[in-house]
Amino acid sequence: MIKGRGRLAIGAAALACAVMPAAAHAITPVTSLHQAKIKFIFMKARVFSDGFVTPNQPETVSISGLPRRTDFKVFIEPPPITEQCGEFYFCDVAPTAPVDGTPPYRSDAKGRATVTFITPPSYFVETDPFHPSVGMFVNWMNGQAVHIDVEGAKRRKNVRRDSFGFARAVVQLTA
């Protein structure tokens, strides 16, 4: 007959053998029901320009601080302090595209890029907040301040890297 610690050890071993299959089933992750948490990393892009843009003319900017080897977008927008954009109406950004013969917007292995685009001749002002398609195109004015916005995002496995940056410039019309 086992007395004292021997009885306690046998009881613990029997309990462990009985509970182990249920515990092993509870510990096994169920991947179809659970998604892994995504880690979000925000990166501040730096945009370098000569400080002037001319509508319908090529503009070259250098960008750093983007996610490595990712596609990105470049926009021209009037800043919110523009009279027609801030208080009564909404101004949309004017998208750009690479100049013909240049590569698409894509950063290199260090997260840098130099791109050339044609500055759009105008931007869209939404005059009815309930119907965004109602509005008018407005041409840039000489001396008007603009922002050159750059945004890019890349997701790999459970990590998402977003980058945004802008540069200030002034519209300069040709004579």
**Pairing outcome for strands 113-118 and 122-126:** unpaired
CA–CA distance, 171 with 86 (Å, rounded to integer): 19
Which pTM value belongs to this model? 0.71
53 within 8 A of 149, measured Cβ to Cβ: no
pLDDT of res. 110:
92
pLDDT of res. 117:
92
Residue 108 Cα to chain centre, angstroms? 17
Residue 57 has a CB neighbour count (10 Å cut-off) of 13
Summarised one tens digit per residue, pLDDT across range 121-163 is 998 888 877 887 888 888 888 888 899 999 999 988 888 999 9
Mark the ranges of the chain whose per-residue pLDDT is less than 50.
none
Q: Domain limits of the chain?
A: 39-171
Residue 101 Cα to chain centre, angstroms? 26
Q: Where does 39-171 sit in CATH, by number?
A: 2.60.40.230
CA–CA distance, 19 with 77 (Å, rounded to integer): 64
